[in-house]
Amino acid sequence: QRQTLLSAGLRRWAYKDTQAARKWFDTQSRQQGLTDKTLRERAGSRIAWYSTIRGVESNRQWLDNWLANHPDTSLVTQRARRTVIEQDWDALDEWVMRLPEEDRNDSRWLYWRARALESTDRPDQARELYQQAAQQRNFFAFLAADRLGEPYRFSEQEHRSSATFTPPPAITRIRMLRELNEPYLAHKEWMWLMWHSNKAQIADLADYALAQKWYDLSVQASIQAKAWNTLAWRFPPAYLSLFEEQAKPHGLDPWLSMAVARRESAFNPQARSPVGAMGLMQLMPATARKVAKDAEMGTPTSKTLQDKHTNIALGSRYLAELLDDFSDNRVLALAAYNAGPSRVNRWLENAEDGVPADVWIESIPFRETRDYVQAVLTYRALFVGMHDDQARSKQLLTSDENDELYSLSMLDQD
């Protein structure tokens, strides 16, 4: 029991004071009775975790020794990420190569290895890795393609519906429920249908839902079928006319607000998060009330926030306000949409010397927000390339977003 308590205390101490916890773990823990191998590893791993994500310089040598003797993929990933944040390009490859082969071959680490090579005057080797990264379809693959000046690879697949497809009886119930304004029950009926259909049937149902403009059901079917390359189902032009209508008064890019909605709710107007965010653009009620008050739209309710017209109107206005606050920088505005403007201000304050856009995005402390920014910008590029008849290149970051150094000075702009 004593050892269990010591280990638990150390894990808590690592959160409160990582440096002090590491010193005690090194010099006192065995003398105080913490000798069980499993409990020591549990405590040490927690100290290593906070040492890595916080960049505790005084713990660095201890951390690297710990990782050499206690290899752990999540910790090594964070240690490799730390080299990116610090732009320690000479050390990056060493840490990436300690990752499993599958992780090393992901576009994220191919891209960062290429960046390291490029930053250490090895452009030919860098280009080779950029080319490998650009074969995939995600944020880092598109960044790599932009570095090469090549178009993005969407790698989409078309689906041909079965000639014998006949909508099952459940479709009639779903249609009736949607017409009766019971989308929640319609969604449950759809999920029941998914669970009782094989993969080929789900594919035909996804096509059918898309044809009916049941966008949220089409996206859900693509997930159930694991049809990651059938982009027509995953990224339909949902409610495009509404997004365009609400974007126009604010000079907002409708594809950006549509990408936000796709990430936030998968185009489900009834979506509600565990913390209470609601509707297509997942607005918190307090935020929605403030935006509605400023726009003189009346006080929104839970019911009106699940109305697509109201939600898109308020969400588009809020996104436009954030873009205005952050000088039209979509990277910062999207981070603020997910994590709040005050956190983004603090993150910029921590980048006193200024860092490139890709490094700043990788350095966002919250994984959810990092993933969010990357996903929304990638989704926008997919929407534009699929539905707006624009080139499938140079859509990820604007020149200003890409060329500017991200730092405290960005907060001084009027």
Beta partners for 406? Answer: 355
Q: How far apart are CA 97 and CA 71, in angstroms?
A: 12
**Tokens standing for residue 194:** 């998914």
- For the chain, state the CA radius of gyration: 24
Closest residue by Cα to residue 308 from 365, 228, 234, 246: 246
Give me the DSSP letters along 228-264: TT-HHHHS--TTHHHHHHHHGGGT--HHHHHHHHHHH
DSSP 278: B
Cα pseudo-dihedral 182, 184, 186, 189, rounded to 10: -140
Beta bridge partners of 283: 278
Active-site residue identified among 189, 264, 362, 404: 264
Contact 45/12 with Cβ under 8 angstroms?
no
Q: Is 156 among the catalytic positions?
A: no
Name 272's bridge partners. 278
Q: Using alpha carbons only, give the angle 263, 254, 247 rounded to the nearest 5 degrees.
A: 120
Residues serving a catalytic function are 264
